[in-house]
Amino acid sequence: MIRFLAILAIACLAGGFALVLTGAGLILGILLIILGLVAGAVCGAIAAVRNVRDSVREWRSLFSGGGPDSVRVVRVEPPQGWLLDRDARVTLEVQGRDGLTKQVEKGLPIPIPQALMWRLAGRVPTPVGRLSDARDLNVQVYRKRGATKAE
């Protein structure tokens, strides 16, 4: 359904702009552009709802054993772009009460100005390397009291 809406949105926008630019049907072209924008918005809303649903399912399955015993940040990757793909990727290692350890990779949205600055300033070499390089970390960010240390 989402593919159909995306194709419909693109077709409506292309057809609407073609009608408006050629002058063949100004009102019909404007209506097609509006229909394309609405279909694109609905398509985006459906995609966002699916992403939230999948994320909730993943976290619920991760914490189904009563919560984590420890959480470590394993890796941080900067955003790939500054306009479209501006999610910084963070890899977490979560140890549950049952002793199982799972790695979860999540995207953290970065605002456009900060993502642009990260991309531009990240190319400058520093003593610790470029800021645009991925960082392998091993930082404990949470540990439940009384939890045994994972080796």
Q: With 50 as the cut, is the pLDDT of residue 64 above it?
A: yes
Domain locations in the chain?
2-58, 65-143
Mean pLDDT of 104-119: 81
- Give pLDDT, residue 151: 46
Mean pLDDT of 135-148: 72
By the 10 Å C-beta count (0-12 exposed, 13-18 middle, 19+ buried), 88 is classed as middle
Tokens 């953290």 correspond to 108
Per-residue pLDDT band at 32 (split at 50, 70, 90):
very high
- Give pLDDT, residue 47: 82
CB 132 within 8 A of CB 122: yes
Mean pLDDT of 63-85: 77
Mean pLDDT of 103-119: 81
Q: With 70 as the cut, is the pLDDT of residue 73 above it?
A: yes
CB 106 within 8 A of CB 92: yes
Per-residue pLDDT band at 17 (split at 50, 70, 90):
very high
